[in-house]
Structure 1
Amino acid sequence: EMSLAEIMALRPRVQQDMTRAFPDSVFVKTHNFLGESHGHPLVNFRVTAGAIYIVRNPLDVTVSAADHFGLSIDAAIDFMAKEGATTGNDSRNVPEVLGSWSTHVRSWTQQPHPGLLVLRYEDMLAKPRAAFAQVTDFLRLPRDKARLDKAIRFSSFKELSTQEETGGFNERSVNSKSFFRAGKRDQWRDALTPAQIQRITSLHREQMTRFNYVPADL
């Protein structure tokens, strides 16, 4: 088993090798914050053309994280406030460096850049066509209504849940019954206590304000 420092040293080289192995654009999903770990960049910008960053209300992220990591709600709040937070380093996972929710969001969104598209998860749920159109334009793909409709249909929560039920999903946590758990906004209203809502908002108010996530009564 490699140490965290050894993995971080190899990550930029692995990203470079991936681009060399495929002639076309390579799309990679990451949960890393935008920064360095053990003196090495988590994203190799020498081989990165751009990024699409999806931000989600931390009140809902807390509920999701508790289920995914097998934590209590209070422990999930602590985890999301931890600056050195990382995912597991084991045979099933390559560790990713998350940082706190606020640090993560700030690292990716504080500097507007033409190579960065920022989307709110809630807007993607409410207006998928508009969100997918933004992605299409960002990637400089031709507008094609049939392809857009197909992409929206096949990425819907219902479709993804069905696919997981029939074929499984390799990112499902051992702590969860399913990876695609609910796919809704505002789950926190039924899952968090007033004290927990207050604590999350106090910890992350600056970034929550930027993305209009602060509850009206706080």
Structure 2
Amino acid sequence: MGKIVWLASYPKSGNTWVRAFLHNYILQPETPHSINSLVEFSVAECAAAFFHAPGESLSTEQVQALRPQVHERLTRLHPDLVFVKTHNANLEMHGVPLCTPAHTAGALYIVRDPRDVALSYAAYTGKSVDEMIAFMENPGAANASDDAQVFERLSSWSEHVRSWVASPRRLLTRYEDLLAEPERYFARIIRFLGTGEVEAKRLARAIEFSSFGQLAAQEADQGYNAASLNGKFFRQGKSGQWRERLTPAQAERIAAAHGEVMRQLGYV
């Protein structure tokens, strides 16, 4: 068994929130851990610096050929488990797994209602909601490489979920449950990671330090290096916004494309 615990999600599903919680719980800082220092403890698998020198350009085949080597190097970042953020689906591309099984200890998969994801992801990327709905239906959907990162293969929202649900040694956590009952579901994450008995005061403090209000305040005060050019990264942090902001036709299109998986997760 490997050392990587994948912090996996489709984009805009709560991955950064969970990373912030883990940093505050495990490191136990005196003040809320900086959102711009998350890489000190958990890293983003897609960071270009792991794959090539600045200014170098690689094809998707070249990136995939390097992924097992990159993941092996990531296991050396810490003596114990290594937390690695990914938005990749747990699939293969060019015959190479996007998340190398040999280096995997387990996965924490965060999922969110795709109707809210469509709204949040559209705002983050600057795309229209209809464009984002179409993107989330596309089995070939990917985020392209740029100077900061190599490509991420997302596939469709449904296939992304299926790929991670089928993986061994994984814990699935719904964004909505973290919002509704944070003490229960964040404690569940800690127990899954096997880092010892959950300490109530430590848990409450970590939840407070990683609350949406705290994260948004940090972004307003310090900026956030993962924010887009289209506005804030931490926008509202609520669930069910789709009821007021999607048209009936948009909501129906998402349900038609992803209804089977949405039913399995309790979203419809």
Which has the larger share of strand? 2
Identity within the alignment, %: 48
Aligned equivalent of 1:59:
115
Q: TM-score, normalised by structure 1?
A: 0.93
Q: 5+ unaligned residues in a row in structure 1: which ranges?
A: none
Q: 2:237 aligns with which of 179, 183, 189?
A: 183
Aligned equivalent of 1:144:
199
d(CA) in 2 for partners of 1:67, 1:37: 28
Is structure 2 residue 163 aligned with structure 1 residue 107? yes
Aligned equivalent of 1:48:
104
Aligned equivalent of 1:212:
266
Q: 2:140 aligns with which of 66, 84, 90?
A: 84
Post-superposition shift, 1:21?
3.6
Is structure 2 residue 183 aligned with structure 1 residue 129? yes
Which contiguous aligned blocks of 4+ residues in structure 1 show a shift greater than 4 angstroms? none
Greater RCO, 1 or 2 (C-alpha within 8 Å, sep 6+)? 2
Post-superposition shift, 1:185?
0.2
Is structure 2 residue 208 aligned with structure 1 residue 153? yes
Q: Deviations over 1:170-201 (max 9, x none)?
A: 221222x1111110001111211001111110
Q: How many residues align?
A: 211
d(CA) in 2 for partners of 1:73, 1:46: 38
Aligned equivalent of 2:255:
201
Aligned equivalent of 2:80:
24
Q: Deviations over 1:126-173 (max 9, x none)?
A: 000001110111011221112101211122111111111222222212
Aligned equivalent of 1:2:
58
d(CA) in 2 for partners of 1:174, 1:37: 30
Is structure 2 residue 195 aligned with structure 1 residue 162? no
Post-superposition shift, 1:22?
2.5
Q: Deviations over 1:63-84 (max 9, x none)?
A: 0111111111110000000101
d(CA) in 1 for partners of 2:233, 2:198: 31
Q: 5+ unaligned residues in a row in structure 2: which ranges?
A: 1-56
